[in-house]
Chain A
Amino acid sequence: MNLLTDLIFDYTLRNIALGAAVLGIVSGMLGSFAVLRRQGLLGDTLAHAALPGICIAYLLTGSKSPLVLFLGAAISGWVATLVLLRIVRETRIKEDSALGVVLSVFFGVGIMLLTFILKHNDANQAGLDKFLFGQAATVTAEDVNTMTILGVFALLVVAVLYKEFKIMTFDPNFAASLGFNDRWLGVILTSLIVVAVVIGLRTVGVVLMSAMLVGPAVAARQWTNRLEAMVLLAGFFGALSGVAGALISVSEANLPTGPMVILSLTVIVIISLLFAPQRGILWDIKRFSKA
């Protein structure tokens, strides 16, 4: 009961929980398309690719306002997307290797820039890295506002282009034959995932981001056979794990929020995989032992 009142009245906890919930909804819903398009690791690459953007944005403006850093992260995530598409389309490098190359090269450049900033600037740069490794405990109301605006924008685009995203995800060739250009739709969808990633960096951090995109979608897929329901349910699971992780992390001293969000999510995934009606693995075992 105490936790519940805290959730509403405690400033820090409210911001942590809200931030994590916004992230969960956005990444869950967008992740559904990524998972169905077999791009479960795209989020991981885009998250790492955000680092040089954050550093360059800071170097250019000297500002640490969330909007500026978000923008920097988004731009370099977007550039990474285009580079990735280029490598996969135009060279013999397979998607898996291309993801790894883009991820590590962008991150390497980012680290170089980050150390450069750390060594050459005054104390002002402190906290730059929290945009990368997620320190939910320091999420401010301003951060939450920025995240919410970005998230609402991304979800609006999904709502408007839902039909197009669906057909492109299910049958890209057919979609293209109808005139829905899969290249552009793919870029739009990936750009929206960049938005989700940018929100996630601040809350759960670069390493854990891929789970925020993949986990809710995988869990939701087990419970339903309809895309609409899957997308909504994934948003719900994402929010649920966000709030649960936030609550667990404050209920006990010294527990980091991001990892607790991911562990909550992992529990949801495991339950879904085991027990979901029809698709649950346990039902398979039961059917098997009966036969």
Chain B
Amino acid sequence: MEIVITGILISVACALLGTFLILRKMAMMSDAISHAILPGLVAGYFFAKGPDLFAGFLGALVAALVTVTLVEALKNTQRVGGESAIGIVFPAMFALGTFLVARFFENVHLDTDAVLFGNIEFVAFDRLFIGDVDFGPQSYYVAGALCLINLLFITVFYKELKLATFDAGLAATLGFSPFFIHYALMALVSVTSVGAFTSVGAVLVVALMIVPAAAAYLLTDKLPMMIGLAAGIGALSAVLGYGLALAIDSSVAGAIVSVAGAFFFAAMLFSPSHGLIAKARRIERQRVQIGLEALLVHLLNHEGEEGEAHESEMLHLSSELRWLPQFAQQIVGVAANRGLVMQLHGHLILTDNGRRQGQQLMVH
């Protein structure tokens, strides 16, 4: 139960930020940050002489801001593309972190594997004691605080975030610094990453930020709705993922992400507005509509002409309108079903209704 609650809190905290990462086309920046904070974490522990939560946070935050600044600086040299800048900076930071661990922390418990995977299964063991009173798992407070901070940030700066996301230029001229919004968002991404990766690991933090928000983006066009959906999908993934992990006795974090992935692919296929199936249907409908119009206009054009009999032959139709035979048959079928044409001895004749519609099209 404690694992589920922690999972939900972290998922929601991540999804709140993820929405803006997706919209600002910065999804991979969160991947970079979640890896690049390693040297900061190590440095923090080094100065605190042990795995101190606060020192870790501080170090990670500094490392994240260094990463963001380095990426921006590299981009601004005009010699490196944005994605390449990210692709160099975060492995360099991670390598530095691994090097520092190997050099100075041989015997400190900081496993790079744990950084990557996390261990949500153990949340129940790290408890918060004040005096002798058990206040529940530490992770409640960390994850809960992250949720609260992120929620506060996006409600207080909602207007600014929205503006800076959709029109950075306008935001700047109105006096909202896109620069501030950018770095504030990045700072929160890094704090959330640190807070979350002790339980779900670096890569899975990225998953929880991006995947539910991306699924939500396929389901709605409204920003508040997207934020809500992202948080909902994240929370639901946490619950179902935990169940899945129990069922097959496997990693909880991995299962949560797998479920979130399933939500994404379901949205990709079945979303009524942006799904692949809906899209294919729309295109098919358009093809039929275009075909119908062409057929009506064609028949109308040749109505009463000498060659009418010839022009309305099925076979001639497909060559005249350059349709494949199957398509011609489909269109004629639809037209007959809607009572626009009638078939008579292999010829097509417009009904009154079909003639009227054809004439309307001609007027266009």
Contact = CB atoms under 8 A, between A and B. Distances in A.
Q: In the complex, A touching B, CB below 8 Å? A: yes
Interface of A: 35, 38-41, 43-44, 48, 87, 90-94, 96-101, 103-105, 107-116, 119-120, 129, 133, 207-211, 213-215, 217-218, 221-222, 254-256, 258-260, 262-263, 266, 269, 273, 279, 281
A214 B84 contact: yes
A102 B255 CA distance: 15
Interface of B: 21-22, 25-28, 30-31, 35, 74, 77, 79-81, 83-88, 90-92, 94-96, 98-99, 102-103, 106, 112-113, 116-117, 201, 203-204, 206-207, 210-211, 214, 217-218, 245, 248-251, 253-258, 260-261, 264, 268, 274, 276, 279
B27 A112 contact: no
Interface of A is mostly: helix
A231 B210 CA distance: 34
A211 B91 contact: yes
Nearest to B262: A105
Nearest to B121: A115
Nearest to B91: A211
Given A91-B268, A93-B218, A266 B81 contact: no
27 contacts: A44-B31, A92-B218, A93-B218, A94-B22, A97-B214, A98-B214, A100-B27, A100-B28, A101-B214, A101-B261, A105-B260, A107-B203, A108-B203, A108-B258, A109-B257, A116-B250, A119-B249, A133-B113, A207-B35, A213-B87, A214-B87, A215-B88, A215-B91, A222-B79, A258-B98, A259-B95, A259-B98
Nearest to A87: B268
Nearest to A117: B250
Contacts of B214: 93, 97-98, 100-101
A266 B88 contact: yes
A170 to B, nearest CB: 15
A77 B257 CA distance: 18
A105 B264 contact: yes
B217 A92 contact: yes
Given A108-B253, A260-B95, 4 more contacts: A38-B81, A40-B81, A91-B268, A119-B249
Nearest to A280: B79
Of listed B28, B81, B90, residue having the most chain A CB within 10 A: B28
A97 B27 contact: yes
A111 B218 CA distance: 26
Nearest to B201: A111
Contacts of B91: 207-211, 215, 262
Contact of A41 (B77, B87, B211): B87
B268 A208 contact: no
Dominant secondary structure at the B interface: helix
A115 B254 contact: yes
A162 B102 CA distance: 42
A105 B257 contact: yes
B256 A108 contact: yes
Contacts of B92: 211, 262-263, 266
Contacts of A111: 117, 201, 203-204, 251, 253-254, 257
A108 B257 contact: yes
Contact of B99 (A48, A207, A209, A260): A260
Nearest to A279: B79
Contact of B261 (A44, A98, A105): A105
Instruction: Please provide the 7 A-B residue pairs with the shortest distance between their CB atoms, ordered closest to farther.
Output: A108-B257, A104-B207, A105-B261, A112-B254, A111-B254, A211-B91, A40-B84
B258 A105 contact: yes
B83 A41 contact: yes
Contacts of B22: 93-94, 97
A93 B264 CA distance: 11
Contacts of A96: 25-28, 83
B88 A99 contact: no
Contacts of B261: 101, 104-105, 108-109
Contacts of B258: 105, 108-109, 112
A101 to B, nearest CB: 5
A94 B25 contact: yes
A100 B31 contact: yes
Interface centre among B83, B102, B106, B207 (most CB of A within 10 A): B83
Nearest to A217: B84
A177 B210 CA distance: 36
* Residue from A39, A93, A133, A217 whose CB has the most chain B CB atoms within 10 Å: A93
A208 B106 CA distance: 21
B164 to A, nearest CB: 17
Given A259-B95, A281-B77, A101 B210 contact: yes
Nearest to A36: B81
B207, B254, B255, B256 — most chain A CB neighbours (10 Å): B254
A91 B102 contact: no
B214 to A, nearest CB: 5
Given A35-B84, A108-B204, A279-B79, A207 B94 contact: yes
Contact of B87 (A44, A110, A116): A44
Nearest to A259: B95
Nearest to B205: A104
B276 A254 contact: no
A108 B254 contact: yes
B28 A101 contact: no
A44 B31 CA distance: 10
Nearest to B268: A91
A116 B86 contact: no
A91 B206 contact: no
A218 B84 contact: yes
A120 B204 contact: no
Given A107-B203, A119-B249, A211-B91, A40 B86 contact: yes
A93 B256 CA distance: 22
Given A101-B264, A109-B261, A43 B276 contact: no
B266 to A, nearest CB: 12
Most buried by B among A40, A48, A90, A110: A40
